[in-house]
Amino acid sequence: MRIAVNTRLLIKGKLGGIGWFTYQSLKRITQNHPEHQFYFLFDRDFNNEFIFGDNVIPFKLLPPARHPFLWYFWFEHRVAPFLNKYKPDFFLSPDGYLVLKTNIPSLPVIHDINFVHLSENLPFWVEKYYLHYFPLFAGKAKRIATVSEYSKTDLVNSYNLNSDKIDVVYNGSDSVFQPITKAQQEQIKQKFSNGVDFFIYIGSLHPRKNMCRMLEAFDIFKKQTNLPHKLILIGDPLFNTGGMWKTHSNMKYKDDVLFLGRLPREQAKLVMASARVLIFVSYFEGFGIPILEGFRCEIPVLAGNKTSLPEVGGKAAHYVDPFSVKSIASGMIEIEKNNSLRAKLINEGKLQREKFSWDKTAKLLWESVEKAIDSNKSLKQKK
């Protein structure tokens, strides 16, 4: 069988959440199924580390698609002709985008539809593209995969879909995230936080990640505890970060907030494993991979109690209301000062992390692909 795959998010050194899902699942699927041929479709020069075996054939289809107009052009005027020419048996799109001008059976992984509820956080044309095209992608798909039961329910309710059409394919977490020694932690603190303890946030800097309330809550934490802690933020700015920078400039303790940008994976995991607490109080997530990374590093996790985060965190996170600065600040104080709570969360995290792995992700995604292919065969036989 020949399977075409949208791999435009496989960019060396720039793998975000969906990029890691793409990398980890496709690496395993292609290596576990050498009997099938995979056409990887890139929108720029690609790195050979993403060509996972002899059964992977890469194609570069220009131009790079990083804007709504180019998204449309790339899928409908580059990918569509490719599919119509090579006629693969199936098209898999790990980032959710599909090609409308083709009859090839397709499966998108729609990680979440936050834009349905929070479109004001997006640039104008991005909002218009998402709101117009994703319902069309969902309707065209032979099956849909998504990363949590929360996202599945949201898709069913928002797009009036049959729940039987949607498979939950949970994310995993990278095994490089793991505990480190006290000596290593001290070295990291000397390098990044002047030797003092710190909280950490990791992810894109974006309004729905609740950056403003997190900063305001940290200011309250500092005022009420008088502790020397820093707040380290790892990740690149995404959209509409003006409010975050304004909030930061108005903080009393703004000098204790350290923006490190995107760090290499090997360095990020050392910083994560040296933190007192992972702060992840986003108010909308389809999954929330950093929570699992915190569990793997065996540090306590403070999480928002909305959308998918309680599903992912289970009993292993300390939850707060992400819409309340006071609740977030109280959570920071409680998780910092209550040693028995810290120990409980760390122990629960060791159990909760075992429920998720990239091996399970790849297995579930492949099963979803097989269901879509089988249903397409059944439909052809009926005709």
Summarised one tens digit per residue, pLDDT across range 73-126 is 999 999 999 999 999 999 999 999 999 999 999 999 999 999 999 988 888 999
Task: State the pLDDT at residue 98.
Answer: 98
| DSSP conformational letter for 7 | -
* Measured CA distances, 267 to 48, 66, 194, 261, 271 (Å): 23, 27, 17, 12, 6
Return the C-alpha torsion angle 282, 144, 46, 44, nearest 10.
-90
Q: Where in the chain is the domain with CATH 3.40.50.2000?
A: 2-172+358-376, 182-355
pLDDT at 381 over 70: no
Closest CA to 134 of 120, 156, 116: 116
pLDDT band at 379 (very low <50, low <70, confident <90, very high): low
Q: Which CATH number fits domain 2-172+358-376: 3.40.50.300, 2.70.98.10, 3.40.50.2000, 3.20.20.100?
A: 3.40.50.2000
Question: Tell me: the pLDDT tens digits for 232-291?
Answer: 999 998 878 889 999 999 999 999 999 999 999 899 999 999 999 999 999 999 999 999
The partner residues of 107 in beta bridges, in order of sequence, read: 92
Cα–Cα distance measured from residue 250 to residue 231, given in angstroms and rounded to the nearest whole number: 16
Q: What is the CA radius of gyration of the chain?
A: 21
Name the percent of the chain lying above pLDDT 90: 90
pTM exceeding the 0.85 threshold for the entire prediction: yes
- Look at residues 267, 235, 287, 299 and name the one whose alpha carbon lies nearest to residue 21: 287
Residue 121 pLDDT = 81
**Taking each helix axis from N to C terminus, what angle separates 17-32 and 358-382, rounded to the nearest 10 degrees?**
70
Asked if residue 322 lies in contact with residue 282, where contact means CB atoms within 8 angstroms, the answer is: yes
> What would the mean pLDDT of 7-23 be, rounded to a whole number?
93
Q: What is the pLDDT of residue 360?
A: 97
The one-letter code for the residue type at 213 is R
Secondary structure of residue 321 in the 3-state scheme:
coil
Contact assessment for residue 77 and residue 41, using Cβ atoms and an 8 Å cutoff: no
Q: Is 97 exposed, middle or buried (0-12, 13-18, 19+ CB in 10 A)?
A: buried
d(CA 54, CA 65): 27
> What's the pLDDT band for 382 if we cut at 50, 70, 90?
low
Residue 339 to residue 335: CA distance in whole angstroms: 8
Question: Quick one: pLDDT band at residue 174, thresholds 50, 70, 90?
Answer: confident
CATH class of 182-355: alpha beta
Average pLDDT for the chain: 95
Cα separation, 365 vs 363, whole angstroms: 6
